[in-house]
Amino acid sequence: MAAVIPVYWMLTISLKNEVDQFAVPPLWFSFSPTLAHYRDAFLTRSFGQYLITSAIVSTGSTICALIIGTLAAYALARFRMPRRLDRKLALWILSTRMFPPIVTAVPLFLMMRDLGLLNTRLALIILYTGFNLPFVVWMMRGFFLEIPRELEDAAMIDGDSRMGALRRVLLPLVAPGLAATAVFCLIISWNEFLFALVMTQTDEAMTLPVGIAGRVTQYEIKWGVMSAAGIVAMLPILVFALAVQKYLVRGLSLGAVKG
């Protein structure tokens, strides 16, 4: 209930006219619904643009993080380096997630400025890929470690290359894990606020969370518009999470990949 009520409240606000929004006692069920705020947000204002930016940035960064992270995870899971360097490397990768993100905001801002990437979607894709990488590496490393080494040995003796064995034997087996990891990455990128706020100021490069927060101004707070955009922002994640729910549970409960 505690989780659902705010969402329901947001939904009703997005559908109420501005007078009903502030009625005391609150109008829970009986009000005349209107789509005016949705029209305002997506037709008059630039929320459509924010939505597209968010979609491009989160899918782009998720795909990049999955490709790079999966290969790194495979290497860390399978190759023994001297002096247990593989373990240390894995821990070091994880440690990059251990400090608060805000401490990197300023240096990253300066780097992006010097690269001329401020106010671009590419900047956010690069950053989110970086944030998601440690997570992907650790998740996928766990999934790879679950799979008996003999399967790859067999595939290679059967005549496959290492990359072929990875693609034809290993990846199909970790597919549920890959799906779970992808969903997590998508959600993290989709919801990310801090760096999107720092790196983007223009309508062209702004993501939804930043766009929504931007409706809190000195003179007014556009509750209706913000709620309408919030509902729309929630939907893709909700749909996607429901679609892969089965894999999500299987992926999170390690061991499900064994035949």
Partner 1 sequence: MGIKFHNVTKTFGNTAVVDDLSLSINDGELVVLLGPSGCGKSTTLRMLAGLEDVTSGDIYIGEQRVNEIPPQHRDIAMVFQNYALYPHMTVTDNISYPLRIRKLSGDQIRERVGNVAQLLEIEKLLGRKPRELSGGERQRVALARAIVREPRAYLMDEPLSNLDARLRVQMRGELKRLQQELGTTTIYVTHDQAEAMTLAHRVAVMRNGKLQQFDTPLTIYDRPANRFVAEFVGSPGMNFITGHVDSGNRSFQREGLKLALHDEQLARFNGTNVEVVLGIRPEHVSVSTTQQGGLLPATVYVSELMGSETFVFVTLAGEKIIARAEADFRAEVESTVWVGFDLAKAHFFDPGSGERVGN
Interface contacts to partner 1, rule CB under 8 A: 148, 150-151, 153-161, 164, 168-169, 172-173, 258-259
3-state SS, the chain, equals: CCCHHHHHHHHHHHHCCHHHHCCCCCCCCCCCCCCHHHHHHHHHCCHHHHHHHHHHHHHHHHHHHHHHHHHHHHHHHHCCCHHHHHHHHHHHHHHCCCCCCHHHHHHHHHHHHHCCCCCCHHHHHHHHHHHHHHHHHHHHHHHHHHCCHHHHHHHHHCCCCHHHHHHHHHHHHHHHHHHHHHHHHHHHHHHCCHHHHHHCCCCCCCCHHHHHHCCECCCCECHHHHHHHHHHHHHHHHHHHHHCHHHHHHHHCCCCCCC
Identify which of residues 154 and 213 has a Cβ nearer to partner 1 in the complex.
154
Identify which of residues 48 and 164 has a Cβ nearer to partner 1 in the complex.
164
**Shortest distance in whole angstroms from residue 52 CB to partner 1:** 36
Identify which of residues 170 and 210 has a Cβ nearer to partner 1 in the complex.
170
**Shortest distance in whole angstroms from residue 63 CB to partner 1:** 23
**Shortest distance in whole angstroms from residue 167 CB to partner 1:** 11
**Shortest distance in whole angstroms from residue 164 CB to partner 1:** 7
Identify which of residues 6 and 258 has a Cβ nearer to partner 1 in the complex.
258
Identify which of residues 48 and 148 has a Cβ nearer to partner 1 in the complex.
148
**Shortest distance in whole angstroms from residue 249 CB to partner 1:** 19
